[in-house]
């Protein structure tokens, strides 16, 4: 019998990532601390998610001679932030890949069905020649991630990856069932969800903690 493909999960277990994530989970961390740590984590995870990015040789002049040297084609990369918590990772990602373009996907969760409803979508032009990293710190039910990637795929980008901090097993399963070709990068796989769709043990509402709205 053919085997179902295994979800492409990249669990980033680097000690620095795990240490900073533990500090973020603490309910006593202030918004400032939370935001700073999220930015640092985004930088560290950018290192992992860009590991296989295509490179090109360019000619440069060192003080001594001319040489061919490798560079990432950063202009081809798009960070697609899933609003609003995705924005908390953008600064860190852009510090590492400053030439990347940025798109935004606005989705809200219907509080009854927990389904994602789109209210905003803005991406750079020429998406068919770009590699996209969709960013949302929390992969909970997976509905927003699936809806965002459905929409992104309609623009036919070269590739799509999904970057989060925490993933719930059901979110991974839902995203993988809808988009088995999209690898998921996460710093942790938590136990599950509560009745409101929050990740357990989790870190609470990421948007509220980033922006201090609660």
By CB under 6 A, name the binding residues for ligand URA. 85, 138, 140, 197-199, 202, 205-207
Q: Is 6 one of the catalytic residues?
A: no
Q: How far is the CB of 140 from ligand URA (least distance, A)?
A: 4
Separation CA 12–CA 35 (nearest Å): 19
CB of 138 to ligand URA, least distance (A): 4
Burial (CB < 10 A; 0-12, 13-18, 19+), residue 65, is: exposed
Alpha helix stretches (DSSP H) within 62-111: 87-96
Whether 109 is a known active-site residue: answer yes
Which is nearer to ligand URA, 99 or 213 (by Cβ)? Answer: 213
Query: Is 52 noted as a catalytic residue in this protein?
Result: no
Q: Backbone dihedral region of 136: left (phi > 0), alpha (psi from -120 to 50 degrees) or beta?
A: beta
Write down the catalytic residue from 13, 26, 91, 113: 113
**The tokens of 180 are what?**
């088995």
Q: Is 71 helix (H, G, I), strand (E, B) or coil?
A: strand
Measured from the CB atom, the residue of 18 and 194 that comes closer to ligand URA is 194
CB of 93 or CB of 188, closer to ligand URA: 188
Output the smallest distance, CB 197 to ligand URA, in A: 6
- Is 205 a residue of the active site? yes
The DSSP 8-state label assigned to residue 52 in this structure reads T
Catalytic (active-site) positions = 109, 113, 205, 208
């Amino acid at each position: 019998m053919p085997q179902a493909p295994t979800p492409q999960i990249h669990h980033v277990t680097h000690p620095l990532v795990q240490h900073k994530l533990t500090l973020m989970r603490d309910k006593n961390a202030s918004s400032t601390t939370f935001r700073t740590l999220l930015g640092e984590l985004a930088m560290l995870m950018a290192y992992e998610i860009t590991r296989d990015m295509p490179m090109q040789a360019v000619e440069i002049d060192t003080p001594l001679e001319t040489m061919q040297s490798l560079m990432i084609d950063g202009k081809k990369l798009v960070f697609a932030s899933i609003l609003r918590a995705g924005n908390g990772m953008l600064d860190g990602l852009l510090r590492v890949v400053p030439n990347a373009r940025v798109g935004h996907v606005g989705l809200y969760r219907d509080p009854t069905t927990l389904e994602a409803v789109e209210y905003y979508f803005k991406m750079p032009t020429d998406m068919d020649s770009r590699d996209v990293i969709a960013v949302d710190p929390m992969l909970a039910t997976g509905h927003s991630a699936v809806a965002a990637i459905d929409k992104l795929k309609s623009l036919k980008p070269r590739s799509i990856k999904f970057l989060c901090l925490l993933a719930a097993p059901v979110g991974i399963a839902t995203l993988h069932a809808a988009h088995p070709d999209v690898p998921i990068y996460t710093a942790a796989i938590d136990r599950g969800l509560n009745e409101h769709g929050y990740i357990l043990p989790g870190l609470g509402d990421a948007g509220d903690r980033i922006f201090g709205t609660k």
